[in-house]
Chain A
């Protein structure tokens, strides 16, 4: 179900027995999942199975939810991110996130992308900042559409453009890992195609985890796929083998549309 001929230490993200509780309610029951660098991993599964909860563990976004408790070990580059010494700010600079609903800041397009580099001090002067913004917008495939109106509000863009702006904002910080929680769920097929292409390019540099409800998208984009069901990870492996030859009957049922 896991090993792929790689050494254990090569994994970018390793999770060991993660459980998440929302108050009394347990949302994840011991997830073990190892993710290699520069791969796209899809998380699929029926609604409410804990995909978002899991992905939010990786950059400790669950800290923000009152009464949410995460237990277990999460290692990124062999460092335990739940460790007391871990600085959440640094962690989130290293692990970027793109949300289901595009959520640009109600600021200008430029300021949206520049925000991360500014607060992390990764750029030294205005010129570097401008370069960084341009580079990120180009990589997010948005530059051509917005280069002449960087002062316009981020909210003035279309939904698909906003989502690409959010991706640009996330990659402007130069993260190692990019978490994407249903990034295309609010988009039409054309905008989706643009973003999928973008993800394909981004995986050269980043380790990407993407939550999706579209089996086709998972199949098109990812090298690895994990199937979640009711807070358990049922199956994890190469995307091709999961989709053509699922080992678990629940996976098969889900993929063939019997669970939904």
Chain B
């Protein structure tokens, strides 16, 4: 009788456990599916941006044209050479019989506006080729690029596509002559921002992000760790420290844009620091990261068993020695993990930087923390707002690169934690 009752109960318990487990698995599967969809759609969208169509052009590096005074001064040649017109004349030579002004413009529209730079770069690398006829790969314009990647439908009526019939004809000729190739788009990493999609790269944004993170790190890491050490190891436990602790935890919950307002009012408005500069961006993000580092460091310090401290005090170590020789070295993995996660979060932050002018069209790559700069997430936002078709895949590519950077940082944090994890 009782046995039966119990087994009925057991059955019920088992089935409810099973149901619970099933719910958990379903939730997990859903989360993974969303993540997978997100990642794969970004990756797929971004793929076209990683390759770039090039047209192999025959260029005659006419010595009389490049170096009319026969100076042999490479720098002067590079500086003053008529690169753009050289690119144009090469095109005209490859497609004879183009004389009409309008047709000429269409012909030049096949290649990128920086076609001249490609020739210049070639000469810089191979100065001995001056005077020879050489083949140089010149990036195509972004419309041609889209077309070769199949993102523009060539069967549309002419007035509905950005590539004209004439251009199509020339392009087919080039394809027939095996002059058209797709290459890895290095310009993504060695060009700054541009209005022209075929030139626009992330160099400036990546440099800006690195400079900003550098400022963030050197400000928030020492201050955060020292604050945490003081609160956890040195300060007496009283109302004052409780009050400070509550406030630090609150700080972690402040919306990030508020930090941007603070940066605008205090650092730019009051201290007169430069706008759009990694210096101010770094300070603002440091304020945002500080509570994260403090909380992580305190947790890491608190997890160190008191027996280690007692042992050190027991042989006569001073408080500073206990902290420096024993507590901090053991806490370092946890501190680094917290710091990296905090910095990674800051690296993906846009709102506070909006307030201090780092969301700006900046072509030059910043070299100092006071140079004008933008950061990766701001770059993504600006590209996403660009109506041109080819910026779509560029935006996805930038997102993917940012994600890779952030995931690498987080993986590093996990690696550090695993590597130095201790069992007591």
Which among B236, B310, B312, B314 has the highest number of chain A CB atoms within 10 Å? B314
| A93 pairs with B422, CB closer than 8 A | no
Query: What DSSP secondary structure best describes chain A's contact surface?
Result: helix
**Partner among B236, B237, B314, B316 whose Cβ is within 8 Å of the Cβ of A99:** B314
Of the stretches A25-33, A166-174, A188-196, A243-251, the one at the interface is: A166-174
**Partner among A59, A104, A119, A120 whose Cβ is within 8 Å of the Cβ of B311:** A104
What is the chain B residue whose CB lies nearest that of A120? B316
User: B310 contacts which chain A residues (CB < 8 A)?
Assistant: 61, 64, 99, 103
Decide yes or no whether A115 CB sits under 8 A from chain B: yes
Decide yes or no whether B315 CB sits under 8 A from chain A: yes
Complex CA distance for A173 and B305, rounded to whole angstroms: 23
Complex CA distance for A91 and B314, rounded to whole angstroms: 10
If A64-B309, A66-B237 touch, whether A116 touches B330 (CB-CB below 8 Å) is: no
| B314 pairs with A96, CB closer than 8 A | yes
**Partner among A64, A66, A106, A169 whose Cβ is within 8 Å of the Cβ of B315:** A169
| B315 pairs with A99, CB closer than 8 A | no
| B309 pairs with A119, CB closer than 8 A | no
Q: How large is the interface on A (under 10, 10 to 19, 20 to 34, 35 or more residues)?
A: 20 to 34
Q: How many of chain B's residues have a CB under 8 angstroms from any CB in A? A: 20
User: A166 contacts which chain B residues (CB < 8 A)?
Assistant: 311
User: B314 contacts which chain A residues (CB < 8 A)?
Assistant: 59, 61, 92, 96-97, 99, 170
What is the chain B residue whose CB lies nearest that of A169? B315
Decide yes or no whether B72 CB sits under 8 A from chain A: no
User: B313 contacts which chain A residues (CB < 8 A)?
Assistant: 61, 64, 92
| A92 pairs with B330, CB closer than 8 A | no
In the complex, number of A-B residue pairs with CB atoms less than 8 Å apart = 61
| B422 pairs with A173, CB closer than 8 A | no
- As a 0/1 sequence over residues 316 to 344 of chain B, the CB contacts with chain A under 8 angstroms (1 = contact) are 11100100011000100000000000000
**Partner among B237, B308, B316 whose Cβ is within 8 Å of the Cβ of A92:** B316
Q: Taking the nearest CB of chain B, how far is it from the CB of A212, in angstroms?
A: 19
If A61-B310, A66-B236 touch, whether A106 touches B422 (CB-CB below 8 Å) is: yes
- As a 0/1 sequence over residues 137 to 178 of chain A, the CB contacts with chain B under 8 angstroms (1 = contact) are 000000000000000000000000000001001100100000
What is the chain A residue whose CB lies nearest that of B422? A106
- As a 0/1 sequence over residues 63 to 104 of chain A, the CB contacts with chain B under 8 angstroms (1 = contact) are 010100000000000000000000001111100110101011
| A89 pairs with B308, CB closer than 8 A | no
Complex CA distance for A247 and B308, rounded to whole angstroms: 41
Decide yes or no whether B307 CB sits under 8 A from chain A: yes
| B316 pairs with A103, CB closer than 8 A | no
What is the chain A residue whose CB lies nearest that of B304? A106
Complex CA distance for A130 and B350, rounded to whole angstroms: 57
Complex CA distance for A170 and B330, rounded to whole angstroms: 22
What is the chain B residue whose CB lies nearest that of A92? B316
| A106 pairs with B316, CB closer than 8 A | no
If A66-B236, A66-B237 touch, whether A105 touches B308 (CB-CB below 8 Å) is: yes
| A106 pairs with B308, CB closer than 8 A | yes
Complex CA distance for A169 and B315, rounded to whole angstroms: 8
If A66-B237, A105-B326, A106-B422 touch, whether A173 touches B307 (CB-CB below 8 Å) is: no
User: B321 contacts which chain A residues (CB < 8 A)?
Assistant: 119
| Subset of 27 A-B contacts with CB under 8 Å | A61-B310, A61-B313, A64-B309, A89-B317, A92-B313, A92-B315, A93-B316, A96-B314, A99-B310, A99-B314, A101-B307, A103-B310, A103-B311, A105-B308, A106-B308, A106-B422, A115-B315, A115-B317, A115-B325, A116-B316, A119-B315, A119-B316, A166-B311, A169-B311, A169-B315, A170-B315, A173-B316
**Extra A-B contacts (8), CB below 8 Å, given A92-B313, A103-B308:** A61-B314, A64-B309, A99-B310, A106-B308, A106-B422, A119-B317, A120-B316, A173-B315
Residues of B whose CB lies within 8 Å of any CB of A are: 236-237, 305, 307-318, 321, 325-326, 330, 422
